[in-house]
Amino acid sequence: MFTAEVFANVFEPLTLLYLVVGVAAGIGIGCLPGLTATMGVALVLPLTFGMEAIPGILLLLGVYVGAIYGGSVSAILIRTPGTPAAAATVLDGYEFAKRGEAGRALGISTLSSFVGGMISCVILAIMAPWLARIALKFSSPEFFLLAVFGLCVIASISGASLAKGLLCGALGMILACVGIDGITAHMRYTYGNINLLSGINYIPVMIGLFAMSQAFEGVEDIFKRNAVTGAIPSVLPRRSDLLVMARVAPLCGLAGTAIGIIPGAGADIAAFVAYGQTKNLSKRPELFGTGIPEGVAAPESANNGVTGGALIPMLTLGVPGDAVAAIMIGALTVQGLQPGPLLFRNHPALINSVFMGMFLANIVMCLMGFFCIRAFVKVLSIPKAILTPAIFMLCVVGSYAMANNFFDVWTMLVFGIVGYFLNKIDIIASPAVLGLILGPMAESHFRRALLMGRGSYGVFFSTPLTWIFWGLIAFSLFLPFWQRRKGGSAGRK
Amino acid sequence: MKRIGCALALAAALVLAAGWAPSLDYPRSPVSIIVPYGAGGGTDLIGRALADTVKGSFPRGIAVENRLGGGGSVGMSYGQNARPDGNIITNITVELVTLPHTGTGGDISHEKFIPLIMFNSTYSAVTVQKSSPHNTLKDLLTAAKTDPIQVGNSGIGAIWHLAAASLEQAAGVEFIHVPFDGAAPAITSLLGGHIDAVTVSYAEVVSQVDAGELKVLAVLAPQRLPVAPDIPTATELGYNVSVGSWRGFGVPLNTPPEIVAWLEKTFTDGVNSPGFVKFMKDTKNDIELLSSAEYAKRLARDYEMFGKLINDLGLSK
């Protein structure tokens, strides 16, 4: 499989340089709120037009892998998920930083991302053509059930009060109703404003709820001395953390890869699902959200697991697994290469170079991550009087840069204020983001499924895949109750 | 080879710029091309490729700026309301003449633009799975008289929904229209056998056709497509339907005519440059070049045509 030609392709010095630059750029882009992995790859794309196919595609893969990882850095350090993929990492990651253990959390995130990424690469390299056909089995009923399965995670990320979490999730889903309805073109809550036609974008909402609200809070104690210092004993994970990761990361990496294969489901959903299910299966679910290693390892291994998974339907079928893969199809087409079955048949060396490039990108990401942790943590020793305004600025620039539309900045500010007050009354904002991401997916697929099934609810039970999802939904809803009962009888608080 | 092509194009553009620049005090500042859709998409890629081809004529730079939202209306509205000095050029698309009829276009109007050139067109291709029992357009439409045929499109009221609907009208049948969030998920659904056909553009299905997964029964185009001379048009088969999408550049009304003329000439040369021609060929896009005057007529004609169609479908505001 990895022939001499493939080695020669990938280990060409210039190609390697592009890969390393890609990963570095990706981590940088991922750290910045508003600049998502999709945006990063799209920004770098025009640079590849003048390049040969392999260096060009490896540069893009580097950015992709780096950006999905990079989102966790700002999530852990300043409670700002750099990309939607890191929204779940905030829950436990920032708790580490509050305790002054940001370095430990970053180490866990780096190694887990690496494990998740490597697992997805292995699956990509050995099983891609077989798994690709499964991707095509997904139709609207399955997508709807996947969205419902994702929404079940609200139960796991609500913190102390399930009622507050559900309320918050419902708020997200109500916000998701805004815009032109995709099945009948009815305009909902748009008030004649063209900026609302395509709905409320979840990225400025996310930046507002997490980052801006945190910055508002930062203003309250802007002249206080920093409680946490930048000093960290070691960047390498300790033994107990390694044991936790060994348990959690491979499984979540696999789950991430599986979700990545499904066209239209990406790293954000994977991270939330992994977090929720790891909590469900954990022996200490009550500690999630207080800064425990599995709370970082689960979402981070899952979101990087998506990277290899998303490439599977793209390379084998020419079908985008997520938004980034869609752009990569464009990149390959510009090179005169059509992703799909023909690519496998006619360009095996290119395909294998892509596989090897993915492995290398993950290794580079891991090394670079560990190398930079000390530098990343220095961010926390910046005085609040400088850091807080800088976060303000990043929030504004990030939400504007995404679509070059100033409306998004107002959206971000409004949700920054909402998030500030949610913090004050101890409501965790994550369910709202989940509702906003999954609400439109659930709604459009529910209605499309009924349209295709001519109004019969039987479509939701019509295929083996739908039954698997019903099983998963039942499992994730009832397991916590069962555990609580078991835990209660064992005398747990 | 590619580099040589680019270098030649650049050289050609520079020579042209040198020949034209003295007569006109433009471009004095950086010029932006507003793309109303996301970076990395089809419209964006072609816009960037064309901008790259003509960058030698813009000494202060020419950059692509993606302004998203409202299915294209946010970016086009920004472009039409910009100062008419030629520094903001808008990549206009067929949505400019469809969205106003569905009431989702905000204030956008083709009458607020001076079209510079049209450089690309693509037409609806009636596409089914390779294994489908329907081998001709007639097969499919006959089947639609008795069986429910599910036809996927790229969104309700979007151009490829209008294509399926006008075919329905011409053939006197009814489809079940299944709207997706863009063309790619519709094609994926067809590949999985969950729907019977799609009516998205030929450019969007061509890779799956080449791979032997899908087959095109007919294109809804005025003539056979240069990239697919073997595929019949619906008109040849007795259904007088032609629905396509196009891409071009426009500047706000009241832009000085000498700037319009300079831009038209510059971009026309860009479209004809070997680098751009190769890019379009590689990405399986057709070049259809219309001058400013021809494009203005096309805009008015399409505006009328889509107005009638959208009204007939009951989708108008």
DSSP secondary structure of A296-336:
HHHHHHHHHHHHHHHHHHHHHHS--SSHHHHHHHHHHHHTT
**Residue B176 shares a structural domain with residue B188:** yes
pLDDT tens string B243-295: 999 999 999 999 999 999 999 999 999 999 999 999 998 888 899 999 999 99
- pLDDT tier for residue B197 given thresholds of 50, 70 and 90: very high
B187 neighbourhood in chain A, CB within 8 Å: 319
CB atoms B192 and A137 under 8 Å: yes
Residue A149 has pLDDT above 70, yes or no: yes
pLDDT the model gives residue A493:
37
B39 neighbourhood in chain A, CB within 8 Å: 39, 42-43, 45, 327
From the list A50, A403, A452, the residue facing B2 with the nearest CB is A50
CB atoms B211 and A43 under 8 Å: no
CA–CA distance, A17 with A58 (Å, rounded to integer):
10
- Final residue of a structural domain among B185, B220, B255: B220
Kindly identify which residue of chain B lies nearest to residue A324, measuring between CA atoms.
B40
Count Cβ atoms below 10 Å from residue A417 Cβ, excluding itself: 13
Is B239 inside a domain boundary? no
pLDDT tens string B142-175: 999 999 999 999 888 889 999 999 999 999 999 9
CB atoms B69 and A454 under 8 Å: no
**Residue B113 shares a structural domain with residue B248:** yes
CB atoms B184 and A326 under 8 Å: yes
**Residue B14 shares a structural domain with residue B150:** no
| Phi and psi angles of residue B14, each rounded to the nearest 5 degrees, phi first | -65, -45
B52 neighbourhood in chain A, CB within 8 Å: 46, 49
Give the side-chain half-sphere CA count within 13 A for B117.
Answer: 21
Residue A139 has pLDDT above 70, yes or no: yes
Is residue B187 within 8 angstroms of chain A, CB to CB? yes
Residue B308 has pLDDT above 80, yes or no: yes
A108 close to A247: Cβ distance less than 8 angstroms: no
CB atoms B69 and A195 under 8 Å: yes
Kindly identify which residue of chain A lies nearest to residue B52, measuring between CA atoms.
A46
Is B178 inside a domain boundary? yes
Mean pLDDT of A29-49: 86
Is residue B102 within 8 angstroms of chain A, CB to CB? yes
Is B7 inside a domain boundary? yes
Is residue B316 within 8 angstroms of chain A, CB to CB? no
CA–CA distance, B83 with B91 (Å, rounded to integer):
16
Closest-CA distance, A181 to chain B, in angstroms, reads: 9
Is residue B194 within 8 angstroms of chain A, CB to CB? yes
**Residue B16 shares a structural domain with residue B112:** yes
Is residue B226 within 8 angstroms of chain A, CB to CB? no
Closest-CA distance, B22 to chain A, in angstroms, reads: 31
**Residue B144 shares a structural domain with residue B176:** yes
| Phi and psi angles of residue A72, each rounded to the nearest 5 degrees, phi first | -75, -25
CB atoms A194 and B106 under 8 Å: yes
Of B289, B285, B295, B287, nearest to B251 by C-alpha is: B295
pLDDT tens string A343-370: 888 888 888 999 999 999 999 999 999 9
CB atoms A49 and B156 under 8 Å: no
* Average pLDDT over chain A, rounded to an integer: 88
Residue ranges per structural domain of chain A: 4-489
Domain of residue B66: give its range.
Answer: 2-121+244-312
Is residue B274 within 8 angstroms of chain A, CB to CB? no
Residue A219 has pLDDT above 80, yes or no: yes
pLDDT the model gives residue B264:
96
pLDDT the model gives residue A174:
94
- pLDDT tier for residue B6 given thresholds of 50, 70 and 90: low
- H or E element, residue B120: strand B113-129
A132 close to A125: Cβ distance less than 8 angstroms: no
Q: Which of residues 107-136 of B touch A (CB under 8 A)?
A: 107
Mean pLDDT of A143-158: 89
- The CATH number of the domain holding residue B196 is 3.40.190.10
Three-class SS of residue A246? helix
CB atoms B210 and A342 under 8 Å: yes
> Which of A10-24, A187-201, B252-266 is the least confident region?
A187-201
- The CATH number of the domain holding residue B282 is 3.40.190.150
**Residue B15 shares a structural domain with residue B116:** yes
CB atoms A452 and B178 under 8 Å: yes
Q: What is the DSSP letter of B136?
A: S
From the list B45, B71, B212, the residue facing A197 with the nearest CB is B71
B41 close to A333: Cβ distance less than 8 angstroms: no
Closest-CA distance, A196 to chain B, in angstroms, reads: 7
CB atoms B282 and A140 under 8 Å: no
CA–CA distance, B72 with B62 (Å, rounded to integer):
21
Kindly identify which residue of chain A lies nearest to residue B5, measuring between CA atoms.
A50
Q: How many contacts does A have with B, using Cβ atoms within 8 A?
A: 143
**Residue B106 shares a structural domain with residue B163:** no
Kindly identify which residue of chain A lies nearest to residue B284, measuring between CA atoms.
A333
Kindly identify which residue of chain B lies nearest to residue A262, measuring between CA atoms.
B188
A43 neighbourhood in chain B, CB within 8 Å: 39
Count Cβ atoms below 10 Å from residue A454 Cβ, excluding itself: 11
ipTM: 0.87
**Residue B103 shares a structural domain with residue B251:** yes
B43 close to B37: Cβ distance less than 8 angstroms: yes
B213 neighbourhood in chain A, CB within 8 Å: 340-341
pLDDT tens string A431-474: 999 999 899 899 999 999 999 998 899 999 999 999 999 999 99
pLDDT the model gives residue A492:
40
Is residue B297 within 8 angstroms of chain A, CB to CB? no
Closest-CA distance, A131 to chain B, in angstroms, reads: 13
Residue A228 has pLDDT above 80, yes or no: no
Q: Which of A134-138, A235-239, B135-139, B311-315 has the highest mean pLDDT?
A: B135-139
Residue B199 has pLDDT above 60, yes or no: yes
Is residue B209 within 8 angstroms of chain A, CB to CB? no
Kindly identify which residue of chain B lies nearest to residue A187, measuring between CA atoms.
B104
- Final residue of a structural domain among B220, B235, B254: B220
Kindly identify which residue of chain B lies nearest to residue A179, measuring between CA atoms.
B70
pLDDT the model gives residue A490:
46
A37 neighbourhood in chain B, CB within 8 Å: none
Is B237 inside a domain boundary? no
CB atoms A451 and B178 under 8 Å: yes
A139 close to A452: Cβ distance less than 8 angstroms: yes
pLDDT the model gives residue B21:
47
pLDDT the model gives residue A134:
83
Is B192 inside a domain boundary? yes
Token representation of residue A118: 């490597």
CB atoms B66 and A403 under 8 Å: yes
B282 neighbourhood in chain A, CB within 8 Å: 333-336
Closest-CA distance, A257 to chain B, in angstroms, reads: 19
CB atoms B210 and A338 under 8 Å: yes
**Residue B23 shares a structural domain with residue B113:** yes
pLDDT tens string A202-214: 889 999 999 899 8
Residue A230 has pLDDT above 80, yes or no: no
Residue A489 has pLDDT above 60, yes or no: no
* Helices and strands of chain A, counted as H and E runs: 20, 2
Token representation of residue B93: 């698309």
CB atoms A195 and B74 under 8 Å: yes
Residue B117 has pLDDT above 90, yes or no: yes
Is B52 inside a domain boundary? yes
Closest-CA distance, A377 to chain B, in angstroms, reads: 32
CB atoms B73 and A194 under 8 Å: yes
- H or E element, residue B118: strand B113-129
Residue A337 has pLDDT above 90, yes or no: no
> Which of A187-196, B189-198, B224-233, B253-262 is the least confident region?
A187-196
pLDDT the model gives residue B26:
87
pLDDT tens string B79-95: 999 999 999 999 999 99
CA–CA distance, A412 with B179 (Å, rounded to integer):
30
Say how many domains are in chain B: 2
CA–CA distance, A341 with B183 (Å, rounded to integer):
20
CA–CA distance, B280 with B263 (Å, rounded to integer):
21
CB atoms B70 and A46 under 8 Å: no
Percent of chain B with pLDDT over 70: 92
Q: Which residue has the higher pLDDT, A409 or A45?
A: A409
Mean pLDDT of A254-279: 91
From the list B52, B106, B195, the residue facing A452 with the nearest CB is B195
Q: Which of A102-116, A124-138, B303-317 has the highest mean pLDDT?
A: A102-116
pLDDT the model gives residue A197:
84
